[in-house]
């Protein structure tokens, strides 16, 4: 009973550095998904924070359209969190201090991406094998004066579990928080998370530790909290498939439906981005929302045939407002 009483409750506020998250249920950065409209929706439904898609620290020096879209934000996003990917401490420091990131409150450093091209470049999960370099990157970002978090895995493979040493390094280097994906790099996104290693990270440091991996329901989130003692959870793919889960996990009442959410997303995205991007994003979001929804095969074909926002709006109504 005493151990159970120590398990933190989902949906409670938490302070990271000098920033207060309204809840301890967070939305992970997802390349191709966590654009500005989606982040607004996640926060509205109960997420304590939602990160931008992965942004190349080196790529910030180019004033290109793609990076501008990744970094798009405005006053509606009250807490602004960006995730950076890279391998050079000096590049991270330049990025963290740059005008491009001036609006952002929190910098998250990607030290967990397992994608081969990223790892070959010495980025993402590759930093688990270069702890001194990882430390210098954290210190470089901290010199910007911003709150810094780290998202990592537990090691490259089961014979190279480094999370205890890595967690201690993160704290000693000045990180204000870390999120541990409970898989090794070679597990990619498959298999049961190795809960004991997330717990090991939590037991090693005093900074907040969030747990990530296969959380797709309230019961899974509660299991994660109970097995790891984490300060909170971070959702990934399922947060995109069913954003209403944020309300479920945090106990926040909502009258929103998938139809009302899609309609609002279409409106916000159309305000911020060009029509081609809006069509791509909304079709992708709508497809996720349609999973396990019966009788939608022909409607899904209609969805992908849409050539403009007006057509898309009508198809969304046919699918969800029935």
Stated pTM of the model = 0.95
Each residue of 132-156: b (16+ CB within 10 Å) or e? eebbbbbbbbbebebbbbbbbbbbb
Q: Can you give the pLDDT of all 322 residues of the chain as single tens digits?
A: 334 447 899 999 999 999 999 999 999 999 999 999 999 999 999 999 999 999 999 999 887 899 999 999 999 999 999 999 999 999 999 999 999 999 999 999 999 999 999 999 999 999 999 999 999 999 999 999 999 999 999 999 999 999 999 999 999 999 999 999 999 999 999 999 999 999 999 999 999 999 999 999 999 999 999 999 999 999 999 999 999 999 999 999 999 999 999 999 999 999 999 999 999 999 999 999 998 787 778 888 999 999 999 999 999 998 987 6
User: According to CATH, where is 3.20.20.70 located in the chain?
Assistant: 2-250
**Chain Cα centroid distance, residue 6:** 26
CB 232 within 8 Å of CB 24 = yes
Active site residue 272: no
Q: What is the predicted pLDDT for the residue at 167?
A: 98
Query: Cα 108 to the chain's mean position, in Å?
Result: 9
Nearest to 52 by CA among 22, 66, 72: 72
Strand stretches in the chain, DSSP E: 14-16, 19-21, 25-27, 51-56, 81-85, 106-111, 147-153, 177-181, 209-212, 232-235
Three-state DSSP state, 140: helix
Rounded-to-integer distance, Cα 271 and Cα 111, Å: 33
The β-bridge partners of 110 are 151
Catalytic residue, candidates 113, 170, 286, 306: 113
**Contact criterion met (CB below 8 Å) for 170 and 205:** yes
CA-wise closest residue to 112 among 199, 49, 193, 182? 182
Give yes or no for a contact between 183 and 193, defined as CB atoms under 8 angstroms apart: yes
Query: How far is residue 172's CA from residue 170's CA, in Å, rounded to a whole number?
Result: 6
> 195-204 and 218-228 are packed helices; what angle lies between their axes, rounded to 10 degrees?
50
- Determine the pLDDT at residue 322: 61
Beta strands 177-181; 209-212: pairing state: parallel
Q: In what order do the strands lie in the sheet with 25-27?
A: 25-27, 232-235, 209-212, 177-181, 147-153, 106-111, 81-85, 51-56
User: Which residues touch 246 (CB under 8 Å, ≥6 apart)?
Assistant: 25, 27, 42, 45, 46, 47, 235, 239, 252
Alpha-carbon gap, residue 16 to 245, rounded angstroms: 23
Q: Residues for the chain: how many in total?
A: 322
**CB-CB contact of 10 with 210 (8 Å):** no
Map tokens 């990160």 to a residue.
Answer: 51
- DSSP secondary structure string for all residues of 240-255: HH-TTHHHHHHT----
Instruction: Give the Cα separation of 152 and 144 in Å (integer).
Output: 21
The class level of CATH for 2-250 reads alpha beta
The residue written with tokens 């509205």 in the block is 44
At 129 the pLDDT is: 98
């Amino acid at each position: 009973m005493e151990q159970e009483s120590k398990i933190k409750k989902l949906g409670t506020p938490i302070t990271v550095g000098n920033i207060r998250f309204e809840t301890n249920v967070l939305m992970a950065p997802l390349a191709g998904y966590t654009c500005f409209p989606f982040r607004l929706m996640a926060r509205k439904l109960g997420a304590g924070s939602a990160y931008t898609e992965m942004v190349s620290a080196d790529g910030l020096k180019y004033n290109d359209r793609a990076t501008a879209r990744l970094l798009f934000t405005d006053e509606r996003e009250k807490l602004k969190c960006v995730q950076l990917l890279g391998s050079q401490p000096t590049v991270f420091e330049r990025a963290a201090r740059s005008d491009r990131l001036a609006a952002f409150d929190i910098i998250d450093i990607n030290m967990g991406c397992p994608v081969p091209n990223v790892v070959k470049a010495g980025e993402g999960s590759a930093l688990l094998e270069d702890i001194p370099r990882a430390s210098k990157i954290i210190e470089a970002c901290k010199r910007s004066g911003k709150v810094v978090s780290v998202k990592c895995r537990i090691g490259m493979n089961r014979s190279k579990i480094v999370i205890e040493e890595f967690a201690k390094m993160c704290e000693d280097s000045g990180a204000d928080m870390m999120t541990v994906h409970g898989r090794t790099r070679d597990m990619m996104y498959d298999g049961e998370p190795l809960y004991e290693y997330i717990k090991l990270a939590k037991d090693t440091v005093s900074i907040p530790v969030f747990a990530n991996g296969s959380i797709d329901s309230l019961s899974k989130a509660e299991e994660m909290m109970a097995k790891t003692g984490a300060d909170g959870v971070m959702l990934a793919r399922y947060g995109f498939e069913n954003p209403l889960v944020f309300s479920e996990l945090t106990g926040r009442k909502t009258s929103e439906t998938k139809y009302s959410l899609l309609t609002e997303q279409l409106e916000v995205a159309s305000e911020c981005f060009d029509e081609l991007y809006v069509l791509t994003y909304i079709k992708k979001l709508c497809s996720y929302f349609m999973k396990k929804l019966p009788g939608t095969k022909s409607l899904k074909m209609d969805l992908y045939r849409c050539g403009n926002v007006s057509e898309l709006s009508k198809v969304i109504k046919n699918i969800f407002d029935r």
